[in-house]
Copies of this chain bind each other. A is one copy, B any other.
Amino acid sequence: MREAAEPIFDVAHLGHVELLSPKPEESLWFFRDVLGMQEVARQEQSVYLRAWGEYESYSLKLTEAKQAGVAHTAFRAMSPQALERRVKVLEASGLGRGWIDGDVGHGKAYQFSDPDGHLLELYYDTEKYRAPEQLRPALKNQPQRYPDRGVGVRRLDHINFLGRDPAPNRVFYQQQLGARSTERIVLDNGTESGTWLTFTNKTYDVVYTIDATGSSGRLHHIAYWVDNREDVLRAADIYLENGVFIEFAPGKHAIAQGFFLYAHEPGGNRIEVASGGYLIFDPDWEPIIWSQEERAKGQAWGTPTVASFHTYGTPVV
């Protein structure tokens, strides 16, 4: 019997993302009225929003700023002990930045950065969401009433960072955080141009794709989940009626096989509505490596990837 390395389970899941918007009112309209999210708090220049299926109090901190982009991305640790273990490793990595006291909805958090410079956080203490009277669900195993307005996204699904070089970021997630590598694109010249990572049974929680502009620290997109493909198609109709710019109409990715819809929120950040794909249960999962030739075939059904997908990110450069 091969002595397989024991996997690490210290990071439970992606918790929340802080997005920056130069048009905070319009961005708020998009997330609240178009996507159907719920505002839970305001503090200084930020509005905190949640999707109806999330057990924590929010997944999006929307902050007014000069430029669009991602401010910080937070992951929840599996336990207090797991948090301590990871912090030790992160401190040793040279990419640790230190503790903060917390934020709305969660306790102390350890800040660090990925090799590309994106600001990340790890926390354990969190506030479980308790719905106010008017948002109480009919079924007690649901954190909040299903909102019958807008797209009705259920939960934050993943974040896709842009980076100068995805590979060292992947290695960092694997070694420092215990992420599993699930799929990758490796070009003919050996460059790893995209890399998919997970902490859960989902195919991915975090993606790094290469920044064709050579910039660092940018965002490709964040994705919110809906339960089925009909909801993704319905989202496209809702975008159309609301004048939201659809960058990439619904289709099926070859990588991870997710069903997607990409749009730009008014502040400029790219937002995906996602469904489908597959779960990974294999503890020995061998990463799927896609070649340049295989990727040249476009998305699953042959649709070419929109050109802006390879260059557009936030902040816009």
| Interface set of A (CB-CB < 8 Å, partner B) | 1-7, 9, 12-13, 34, 36, 53, 55-56, 76, 78-82, 107, 124-125, 128, 137-142, 145-146, 148-151, 183, 200-202, 227-231, 233, 236-243, 246, 249-252, 254-257, 259, 276, 278-279, 281-285, 288, 290, 294, 299-303
Contacts and interface: CB of A to CB of B under 8 A. Distances in A.
B6 A250 contact: no
Contact of A4 (B5, B79, B285, B303): B79
A contact patch SS: loop
Nearest to A278: B53
Contacts of A5: 79
27 contacts: A1-B80, A1-B107, A2-B80, A4-B80, A4-B124, A5-B79, A6-B78, A9-B9, A53-B278, A55-B281, A76-B283, A79-B283, A138-B241, A139-B300, A140-B294, A141-B254, A148-B238, A148-B242, A149-B149, A200-B279, A228-B228, A228-B230, A229-B229, A229-B233, A230-B230, A249-B299, A249-B303
Nearest to A14: B281
Contacts of A254: 139, 141
Given A3-B81, A141-B254, 9 more contacts: A6-B79, A139-B254, A141-B255, A141-B278, A145-B241, A148-B151, A230-B230, A240-B301, A249-B301
A114 to B, nearest CB: 21
Looking at A139, A200, A231, A294, the one whose CB has the most chain B CB atoms below 10 A away is A139
